[in-house]
């Protein structure tokens, strides 16, 4: 019984030590062996962001729907927060010497998106509806240039 206890606590300790690496490793392998039609974890988050921006575009037209807009912003921010620590699939194709900069530029741009979403939120909370619309447009305008820079265009 004692041996069993020692063995199981050892397993627990080892399990705990291995867990962080296991959390990261499978996602990286997924990226490398990505087959067409599958979504990367980053793409999944981007789809959430896209859905929430679409919902926001509608709810922001109606100042009485602030509660809906705030709910969409919260979901957008949650997805963007996770997405900013992911690595774009394209980074594997970037020359090794430029990769660290590529990933940090990606992260900065995601931070920018998050910051703009926070600015929309603050404006809504302050009752500044026009300001919220302006910040929202800035947020939407990040998408295309960011995709040109950090994704591979289908040619």
Site for ligand HEM, rule CB under 6 A: 39-40, 42-43, 46-47, 49-50, 53, 88-90, 106, 109-110, 113, 139, 142-143, 146-147, 150-151
Distance separating alpha carbons of residues 67 and 59, to the nearest angstrom: 9
Helices and strands of the chain, counted as H and E runs = 6, 0
The H-or-E segment that residue 136 falls in is helix 129-140
- Find the shortest distance in angstroms from Cβ 113 to ligand HEM: 4
- Find the shortest distance in angstroms from Cβ 141 to ligand HEM: 8
Task: Kindly tell me the burial class for residue 99, based on how many C-beta atoms sit within 10 Å of its own C-beta (0-12, 13-18, 19 or more).
Answer: middle
The answer to whether 68 and 55 have CB atoms below 8 angstroms apart is: yes
Of 96 and 144, CB closest to ligand HEM: 144
Of 10 and 90, CB closest to ligand HEM: 90
3-state helix, strand, coil in the chain (%, to 5): 80, 0, 20
Of 10 and 147, CB closest to ligand HEM: 147
Of 134 and 142, CB closest to ligand HEM: 142
- Find the shortest distance in angstroms from Cβ 67 to ligand HEM: 22
């Amino acid at each position: 019984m004692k041996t069993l206890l020692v063995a199981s606590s050892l397993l627990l300790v080892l399990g705990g030590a291995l867990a962080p690496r296991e959390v990261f490793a499978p996602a990286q392998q997924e990226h490398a062996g990505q087959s067409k039609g599958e979504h990367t974890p980053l793409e999944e988050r981007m789809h959430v962001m896209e859905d929430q921006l679409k919902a926001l575009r509608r709810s922001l037209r109606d100042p009485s729907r602030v509660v809906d807009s705030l709910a969409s912003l919260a979901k957008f921010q949650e997805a963007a927060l996770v997405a900013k620590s992911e690595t774009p699939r394209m980074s594997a194709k970037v020359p090794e010497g430029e990769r660290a900069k590529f990933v940090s530029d990606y992260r900065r741009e995601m931070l920018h998106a998050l910051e703009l979403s926070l600015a929309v939120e603050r404006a809504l909370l302050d009752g500044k509806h026009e300001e919220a619309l302006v910040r929202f447009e800035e947020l939407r305008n990040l998408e295309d240039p960011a995709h040109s820079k950090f994704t591979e265009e289908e040619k």
